[in-house]
Each structure stands twice: as structure tokens, then as C-alpha cells.
């Protein structure tokens, strides 16, 4: 199934293919210190082969309906700028995650992408709840969740090992019954 969304005038989201790994890795590499603040996988993505493994996992997720990652592309699909998607789809709950090239921050791309995913979850996938987990210090992700009308649910202590320390996660959620398109 072809899945391609217009996110903004200049950005589209589409399913990933193995050939995209060569575009993903340089963006990860150039944003390494920026992404490392909140993402535990950055130190494990050290070559295009690691990015290819991520794409392979995304392809499995497409087939099994257990996840859905879309690449974000700018400039008429010539420039890879990030990923947005459901890293878990299970029992009516979709867990939403994302990352974007630091140069693209502040343009509303992540917010618009997340909104498309929530629309898709509730209107096409039959999902009942969409969740964002944000580290306590990750104010940008907490702001995204709040702008999406998600409600704070809980804080989980020591939820994730981030290289040399644990971080607590704040859980934000929106239910289909509370969602207004």
C-alpha cells in the first residue's frame, strides 16, 4: 500500500525503502550531538548499514502492522529531514515518536506530522489511544504533546537508559473519544 502525505507546502511523509538508508545516515551523523540528548539509539547508528537495519525493521513493521515509520522529506522529496511514526501499535494503542534535523526545528513540521499520524490512527487504523512518551527534561516534545491536545497521564521513573543515566518519562495521551478533527 502506498502511503504518502503532504505535511506542509514543502514537506512530505512517505514509507521508507532500503535505498533511503543512504539519505538517513548523513542526517543522523550530522545531528549526532543534537539527537543524542533524548534518543538512546544514536550511538548505535554509526554507518549506513545501521540506518539500513532501521529501514528493514520499518519494513517488517509495515507488513505486520506493529509499527509505522514514515520518512520526512523536503524540497520535492530530495532532502531527507527526519522520521515520524508509530514505534508500537498494539492492543488499540499507538505510541508516537519522531526526530527531525536540527535545522528544521521551529517550522511546525513535527507538529503537523504528528497531527497527520493521529488523524490516521483514529480514522483509518481503528486505534483507540495515541501516546507520546517524553523525557522529563525534553520540553520540546512535551510542548508538541500539549499542542496536540494530549493529556498528561503519569510520570514513569527511570523509564529509559540514556547512555550513562536514566531519565524519567512523562506520558501524554489522547483517546479517540476525546479527539476533534
Torsion angle, alpha carbons of 6, 10, 15, 17, to 10: 160
Sequence-distant (6+) residues with CB within 8 A of 141 are: 38, 132, 134, 135
pLDDT in tens, 117-158: 999 999 999 999 999 999 999 999 999 999 999 999 999 999
**pLDDT at 180 exceeding the cut of 70:** yes
CATH superfamily name and code, 4-178: Gcn5-related N-acetyltransferase (GNAT) (3.40.630.30)
Three-class SS state of 64: helix
Torsion angle, alpha carbons of 181, 121, 56, 37, to 10: 60
Sequence-distant (6+) residues with CB within 8 A of 133 are: 95, 97, 156, 159, 169, 170, 171, 172
User: Cα angle vertex 85, ends 39, 158, to 5°?
Assistant: 35
As a whole number, the mean pLDDT across the chain is 95
Q: Where is pLDDT greater, at 76 or 112?
A: 112
Sign of the CA dihedral with 45 first, then 46, 51, and 56 last: negative
Label residue 177 by pLDDT band (50, 70, 90). very high
Q: Where is pLDDT greater, at 181 or 69?
A: 69
Three-class SS state of 105: coil
Q: Please state the pTM of the whole predicted model.
A: 0.94
**pLDDT at 95 exceeding the cut of 60:** yes
**pLDDT at 181 exceeding the cut of 60:** no
- Identify the pLDDT of residue 75: 78
Q: What percent of the chain has pLDDT above 90? A: 95
Sequence-distant (6+) residues with CB within 8 A of 85 are: 58, 67, 68, 69, 70, 96, 97, 98, 117
**pLDDT at 1 exceeding the cut of 80:** no
| H/E run at residue 121 | helix 109-123
Report the C-alpha gap between 125 and 106 in whole angstroms: 29
Report the C-alpha gap between 146 and 130 in whole angstroms: 13
Average pLDDT in the 41-63 region?
Answer: 96
Amino acid at each position: 500500500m502506498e502511503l504518502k502525505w503532504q505535511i506542509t507546502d514543502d514537506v512530505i511523509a512517505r514509507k521508507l525503502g532500503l535505498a533511503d538508508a543512504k539519505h538517513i545516515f548523513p542526517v543522523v551523523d550530522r545531528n549526532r550531538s543534537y539527537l543524542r540528548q533524548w534518543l538512546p539509539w544514536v550511538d548505535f547508528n554509526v554507518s549506513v548499514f545501521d540506518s539500513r537495519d532501521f529501514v528493514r525493521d520499518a519494513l517488517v513493521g509495515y507488513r505486520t502492522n506493529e509499527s509505522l515509520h514514515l520518512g520526512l522529506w523536503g524540497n520535492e522529496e530530495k532532502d531527507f529531514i527526519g522520521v515520524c511514526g508509530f514505534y508500537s501499535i498494539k492492543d488499540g494503542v499507538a505510541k508516537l515518536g519522531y526526530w527531525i534535523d536540527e535545522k528544521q526545528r521551529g517550522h511546525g513540521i513535527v507538529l503537523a506530522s504528528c497531527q497527520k499520524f493521529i488523524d490516521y490512527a483514529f480514522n483509518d487504523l481503528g486505534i483507540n489511544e495515541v501516546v507520546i512518551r517524553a523525557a522529563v527534561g525534553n520540553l520540546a516534545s512535551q510542548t508538541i504533546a500539549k499542542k496536540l491536545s494530549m493529556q498528561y497521564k503519569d510520570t514513569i521513573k527511570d523509564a529509559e537508559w540514556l547512555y550513562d543515566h536514566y531519565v524519567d518519562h512523562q506520558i501524554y495521551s489522547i483517546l479517540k473519544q476525546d479527539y476533534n478533527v
